[in-house]
Amino acid sequence: MSVDQAAPAASDVEDGAGGPGGELQQPHLPEDRFADRELSWLRFNERVLELAEDPDIPLLERVRYLAIFASNLDEFFMVRVAGLKRRIATGMAVTAASGLTPRQVLEQISVTAHELTARHARVFTDVVQPALQAEGITLVHFDALSDSEKERLHKYFRRMIFPVLTPLAVDPAHPFPYISGLSLNLGVIVRNPATGKEHFARVKVPPLLPRFIAVDARGKPRSPDDVTAEMATESSFVPIEDVIASFLDYLFPGMDVVEHHVFRVTRNEDLEVEEDDAENLLKALEKELLRRRFGPPVRLELAAGFTPKLREMLVRELSIGEQDVYELPPPLDLTGLNVIADLDRAELSFPRFVPTTNRDLAEVESANPTDIFAAIRARDVLLHHPYDSFSTSVQQFLEQAAADPRVLAIKQTLYRTSGDSPIVDALIDAAEAGKQVLAIVEIKARFDEQANIEWARKLEQAGVHVVYGIVGLKTHCKLSLVVRQETDGLRRYCHIGTGNYNPKTARLYEDHGLLTCHPDVGQDLTRLFNQLSGYAPKSKFHRLLVAPRSIRTGLIERIEREIEHHRAGKDAWIKMKMNSVVDEATIDALYRASQAGVPIDVVVRGICAIKAGVPGLSENIRVRSILGRFLEHSRIYAFANDGDPDVFIGSADLMHRNLDRRVEVLVKVVEPDHVAELVGLIDASVAPTTASWHLEHDPGGDQVWRRVHRDADGQPLADLQSLLMSAHRRPTAAGR
Residues designated catalytic: 476
Burial category of 134 from C-beta neighbours within 10 Å (exposed 0-12, middle 13-18, buried 19 and up): exposed
Transcribe 8-60 into DSSP letters: PPHHHHHHHTTGGGGGSPPPP--TT-B--HHHHHHHHHHHHHHHHH-TTS-HH
Distinct helix (H) and strand (E) counts, the chain: 22, 27
SS3 311: helix
Strand partners, 513: 383, 497
Pinpoint the alpha helices (H) of 298-442: 308-318, 338-341, 359-365, 372-378, 394-403, 422-432
By CB atoms closer than 10 A (0-12, 13-18, 19+), residue 138 is: middle
Q: Given its phi and psi angles, is residue 428 left (phi above 0), alpha (psi -120 to 50 degrees) or beta?
A: alpha
**Closest Cα to residue 544, out of 402, 661, 668, 438?**
668
CA dist 38 and 77 (Å) reads: 11
Cβ atoms within 10 Å, residue 378: 13
Q: How far apart are CA 416 and CA 476, in angstroms?
A: 9
Nearest to 496 by CA among 469, 517, 465, 470: 517
- Indicate the DSSP class of residue 351: P
Residues 6+ away with beta carbon under 8 Å from 730? none
Could you give the 3-state DSSP secondary structure of residue 518? Answer: coil
Parallel, antiparallel, or unpaired: how do β-strands 407-414 and 478-486 relate?
Answer: antiparallel
The Cα–Cα gap between 427 and 139 comes to 45
C-alpha–C-alpha distance, residues 599 and 2, integer Å: 37
246 membership: H or E segment, kind and range: helix 240-246
CB 465 within 8 A of CB 437: yes
